[in-house]
Structure 1
Amino acid sequence: MTYFRNNLSRRDLLRRSTLGFGGLAALDLLSRSSLGESSPGGSSFGASPLAPKAAHFPARAKRVIYIFLDGGLSQIDSYDYKSRLQTDDGKPLPASIAKPKFSFAPTGALLRSPFDWKQQGNSGAWASDLFPAINKQIDNLCFIKSLHHDNEDHITAKKMIFTGSGREVRPNAGSWAAYGLGTENQSLPAFIEIMPGVPKPSSPAFLPSTYGPTAIGRTTADSRDRTWDNLAVVRGANLDRKVRQLDLIRALNANHADRTGVDHAIESEIQNMELAFRMQTAAPDLLSLNGESDDTRKLYGIGEPVTDDFGRACILARRFAEQGVRWITVNHSTMAFGNLWDQHKDLYHGHKKNAEAVDVPIAGLLQDLRQRGMLDDTLVMCGSEFGRTPVFEYQDGGDGRLRNGRDHNPHGFTMWFAGAGVKPGYSHGATDDYGFYAVQDKVHVHDLHATVLHLMGIDHERLTYRYGGRDFRLTDVSGEVVRQILA
């Protein structure tokens, strides 16, 4: 996308005008016609970088909710059923399916899924009993079962799935969406990350910090406590004090600009301060669940010990989506919950425990969005950074007695989608007979990102940012839209 540029910086404009920085922010709280506004379809002179921008073509999805299951959900124990794996349990992996060159531990023979499987819904999609609540809505889901990339460890795999690059520092997909489309609500960020993981994969990288994620919650606290960690209520005398504080910051920045010239990093910080100021009055009511009915709380599993925490995270995702946030990531990650989907051993109990925490909340989110008419223009996606191997991993000194864990597998794994623009009850791509490698209609992560951007009305080849002498994009120099999954 190409945006208007002018040598007059935002700070210069503020300094030369009669409005101080704090005054401008306060005025914005009272009127939606302040300097930082522009109408959808383009950016006006001096407009906020998060003002709504025109898409390349009509969008099917106005927003994305990305549910990330940190650690590696096993595709062959959830939605990629392999009858050969069940019948060939204990046999060696056939020579025709080569083991990867790298693994984290020695691996042995084929390991059947310990979960019960059956075909579900009118679509007849195979699913294990790992997610019984989600399975009731399986006819609304669209599966890609042939995702793949080349990053074996968690850190590089998470970078790959979030940014399109496993080793270089690149912007998160949510930051690219914010850069390309802005936000529909100028009192909220375009990109929110609920319960961020550790190590934290999200970053605007070389994009201006305005497009970075706003984290909701510490990773070590319950979500009902963490909702207030990043915000303070600013009203009355506190509001006046905050205006004076921001005016002082404006004056200091203006003095710095007189001495050194325009500094775009400082400009981004000014914009972030303005947004933070607006959030301090707009967000507290949004983050409070007091207005939610008992039936809605029950739908998300709120009040139940196992599902309460993730249920609160999912209901916040819906509330942010209602208010125009462009991209919301909800993490089920290690530091937030004391566990993750990385079962090198005790696969059955580990996956079962994790699934019990997220199944009802995710199903509740899908049902709630559909009842409110939001699923028509909201894309929900759910998956991990990779899957698991169909062979067991040695954990007992190498004699094979402990056959209950799986290693990392980025060579063929599954992600599901629901909502705006995708075919319900459809499955795309396939892995081999044992679920090790993607072999049919393979979908690289660059293809995944190209498809998500397409659903948001963005041509992934045109969404670029110039940095270090070259134009960068989320999909690097590749990526094809997976048109087979489009409704």
Structure 2
Amino acid sequence: MKPHHHHHDEPFRLQTPEFTDLNRKLDRRNFLLRTASGLGAVALGGLLGNWTLGAAPREKELEAIRQRVAPKAKRVVYLFMAGGPSQLETFDYKPQLQNMLGKGLPDSVRKGQRLTGMSANQAILPIAPSLYKFGQHGKNQTWVSELLPYTAKVVDELCIIKSAFTEQINHDPAITFFQTGHQLPGRPSIGSWVSYGLGSENQNLPAFIVLVSKDAAKDQPLYARLWGNGFLPSEYQGVQFRSGKDPVLFLNNPEGYDGTDRQEMLDYLTQLNKLQNESWGDPEVNARMAQYEMAFRMQTSVPEVMDTTHEPDEVFELYGPESRDKGTYAANCLLARKLLEKDVRFVQLYHQGWDHHGSLPKGMDKQCKQIDRATAGFIIDLKRRGLLDDTLVVWGGEFGRTVYSQGKLAANDYGRDHHPRCFTMWMAGAGVKAGFSYGQTDDFSYNIVKDPVHVHDFQATLLHLMGVDHEQLTYKYQGRRFRLTDVEGKVVKAILT
């Protein structure tokens, strides 16, 4: 018998015990599906969990979600200030506290609300007025702290929300709640929901990209699950871009291996995966194929987008000198602008270091210097390039800080504990009112007295601006339909243009 030569034009087949076994199982599956009663199919469906048999095409379902609201924003950049920046030292001006240094927080204000374990045993909760001066800026004379001089100059572009609140008082559940709509890990992140619901505008880069500042104090850990896909197919997870020689881990070819080899290997791998998909119908196989293909295209697109050497000096000047140092917050803001220009759907920057339980003035001073100029420069840059019209920029952390000092208090030194009851965030760009303040806190920045905005309201509003109805964007998992806003969330219509 002649030896059989493998030709490229005939289908690639593998005869191994594993594949024979696979095919045997496939026959059993077909038998179950074709049994007259159809009960076999029901049982099989139960075994396969989420691998829906004959499910309606996803495109149709997503079209229904998208048509309800005309999108204002094509892209989002979310500047996440991890650790909880103090509203009292940034945007929530409380001049009447100046003569209350060291006085106890009145019970009528605290209203028996939960404290963290860090200040629950303090006999007195001593009021700490902010050490910093505030000034009025822009056409609406908006109050901004002297710690943010550059942000103060672009305040007419911002929609400042002073009445954000959350249910979580500790970092991990609070940041997880903001990023995924649930305090426990395992749900898809906000960027994953957006890329799942809207897909990508750029075939050579991921729809959801994450940048973490290398120049931030690592006071609280960040976990990759904060930009994970949860139970959505894995192609929707956030991809972290780094500042080292490998911007995306495992993207470069191994030593002595070129693009042709890579392409050939991918072709064979695709055939193997197709075979597995035909046998099992597992959507993760398709997700894996899509990721391999994307990785191959990214080998060309990533080095190009990461290269900022062609930017004119005045751009670096706008973002500040640190923008020349890859991986800093300022450099990440500049990179975010390049990614938005390439129509990346969701860019998320994380900047840690806002957890100031002690020495708050020193800590806030440093943090604000790291982010102030670059954030304002980023807004100016987006605006002059016409990108702010259809890009939504979000700035904020996972909660605020208490008006009282945690631990020792001096006139020029104090710390603040976590405060979920009220804090400040801002949005700018596509579809939100510019030069606008929304919501109000009491004289102690302790409770909200007007227009509260819950985490789910913020998430619903973000999706709305992207043309998605938050109640319709669902994913069926383990027999239940899940969504980012769980069972809550109202669009904050008053801040929309």
Say if 1:403 and 1:236 are closer, same or farther in 2 by CA, change over 3 A.
closer
Structure 1 position 179 matched with structure 2 position 196? yes
Indicate the percent of aligned positions where both proteins have the same amino acid: 39
How many residues align? The count is: 431
- SS of the equivalent of 1:317 reads helix
Equivalent pair of 1:172/1:202 in contact (CA under 8 Å): yes
Q: Distance in 2 between matches of 1:240 and 1:136?
A: 52
Select the residue among 215, 218, 221 that pairs with 2:240.
215
Deviation at 1:199, TM superposition (A): 2.8
Say if 1:56 and 1:121 are closer, same or farther in 2 by CA, change over 3 A.
same
Partner of 2:107: 95
Deviation at 1:234, TM superposition (A): 10
Say if 1:113 and 1:463 are closer, same or farther in 2 by CA, change over 3 A.
same
Partner of 1:318: 337
Question: Mind listing any 5+ residue stretches in structure 2 that lack a counterpart?
Answer: 1-8, 13-55, 214-220
Q: Distance in 2 between matches of 1:55 and 1:208?
A: 23
- SS of the equivalent of 1:451 reads helix
Say if 1:147 and 1:230 are closer, same or farther in 2 by CA, change over 3 A.
farther
Q: Distance in 1 between matches of 2:108 and 2:86?
A: 22
Equivalent pair of 2:66/2:469 in contact (CA under 8 Å): no
- SS of the equivalent of 1:479 reads coil
Equivalent pair of 1:302/1:312 in contact (CA under 8 Å): no
Residue 106 of structure 2 aligns to which amino acid in structure 1? P
Structure 1 position 198 matched with structure 2 position 217? no
Deviation at 1:82, TM superposition (A): 1.1
Matches within 5 A, 1:113-128: 113-128=130-145
Partner of 1:244: 264
Deviation at 1:55, TM superposition (A): 5.0
- SS of the equivalent of 2:348 reads strand
Equivalent pair of 1:430/1:439 in contact (CA under 8 Å): yes
Q: Please give the per-residue CA displacement for 1:285-313, whole angstroms capped at 9, x wherever unaligned.
A: 11111221111111111457999821110
Say if 1:142 and 1:230 are closer, same or farther in 2 by CA, change over 3 A.
farther
Matches within 5 A, 1:388-407: 388-394=401-407, 404-407=414-417
Point out the more displaced range, 193-202 or 58-67: 193-202
Say if 1:159 and 1:355 are closer, same or farther in 2 by CA, change over 3 A.
same
Partner of 1:460: 470
Q: Distance in 1 between matches of 2:103 and 2:58?
A: 67
Residue 223 of structure 2 aligns to which amino acid in structure 1? P
Q: Distance in 2 between matches of 1:380 and 1:193?
A: 14
Equivalent pair of 1:394/1:402 in contact (CA under 8 Å): no
Say if 1:308 and 1:478 are closer, same or farther in 2 by CA, change over 3 A.
closer
Q: Please give the per-residue CA displacement for 1:260-295, whole angstroms capped at 9, x wherever unaligned.
A: 421222221111111111111122111111221111
Matches within 5 A, 1:4-403: 54-98=66-110, 100-106=113-119, 107=122, 108-195=125-212, 198-200=222-224, 201-217=226-242, 223=243, 227=247, 229=249, 231-232=251-252, 238-257=258-277, 260-303=279-322, 309-333=328-352, 340-394=353-407
Deviation at 1:229, TM superposition (A): 4.8
Partner of 1:220: none
Say if 1:309 and 1:173 are closer, same or farther in 2 by CA, change over 3 A.
same
- SS of the equivalent of 1:97 reads helix
- SS of the equivalent of 2:88 reads helix
Structure 1 position 479 matched with structure 2 position 489? yes
Q: Distance in 2 between matches of 1:152 and 1:461?
A: 26
Residue 253 of structure 1 aligns to which amino acid in structure 2? N
Question: Mind listing any 5+ residue stretches in structure 1 that lack a counterpart?
Answer: 1-16, 21-43, 218-222, 334-339
Say if 1:400 and 1:424 are closer, same or farther in 2 by CA, change over 3 A.
closer
Structure 1 position 411 matched with structure 2 position 434? no
Residue 326 of structure 1 aligns to which amino acid in structure 2? R
Structure 1 position 420 matched with structure 2 position 430? yes
Q: TM-score, normalised by structure 1?
A: 0.82
Deviation at 1:480, TM superposition (A): 0.4
Say if 1:292 and 1:233 are closer, same or farther in 2 by CA, change over 3 A.
farther
Q: Please give the per-residue CA displacement for 1:90-133, whole angstroms capped at 9, x wherever unaligned.
A: 21111211253231322521100011112111111111111111
Q: Distance in 2 between matches of 1:115 and 1:401?
A: 11
Q: Distance in 2 between matches of 1:401 and 1:114?
A: 8
Say if 1:411 and 1:319 are closer, same or farther in 2 by CA, change over 3 A.
same
- SS of the equivalent of 2:98 reads helix
Say if 1:386 and 1:423 are closer, same or farther in 2 by CA, change over 3 A.
same
Say if 1:322 and 1:307 are closer, same or farther in 2 by CA, change over 3 A.
closer
Point out the more displaced range, 97-106 or 284-293: 97-106
Residue 441 of structure 2 aligns to which amino acid in structure 1? T
Say if 1:235 and 1:368 are closer, same or farther in 2 by CA, change over 3 A.
farther
Q: Which runs of 4+ in 1 moved over 6 A?
A: 17-20, 44-47, 233-237, 304-308, 399-402
Q: Please give the per-residue CA displacement for 1:218-237, whole angstroms capped at 9, x wherever unaligned.
A: xxxxx365636564379997
Say if 1:18 and 1:332 are closer, same or farther in 2 by CA, change over 3 A.
farther
Q: Distance in 2 between matches of 1:216 and 1:475?
A: 27
Equivalent pair of 1:146/1:442 in contact (CA under 8 Å): yes
Q: Distance in 1 between matches of 2:411 and 2:392?
A: 44
Residue 370 of structure 2 aligns to which amino acid in structure 1? A
Q: Distance in 2 between matches of 1:18 and 1:319?
A: 44
Deviation at 1:251, TM superposition (A): 3.4
Q: Distance in 2 between matches of 1:80 and 1:328?
A: 27
- SS of the equivalent of 1:170 reads coil
Equivalent pair of 2:454/2:489 in contact (CA under 8 Å): yes
Say if 1:253 and 1:420 are closer, same or farther in 2 by CA, change over 3 A.
same
Deviation at 1:353, TM superposition (A): 0.4
RMSD (Å) for aligned C-alpha atoms: 2.9
Say if 1:310 and 1:254 are closer, same or farther in 2 by CA, change over 3 A.
same
Partner of 1:26: none
Deviation at 1:46, TM superposition (A): 11
- SS of the equivalent of 2:72 reads coil
Q: Distance in 2 between matches of 1:207 and 1:94?
A: 47
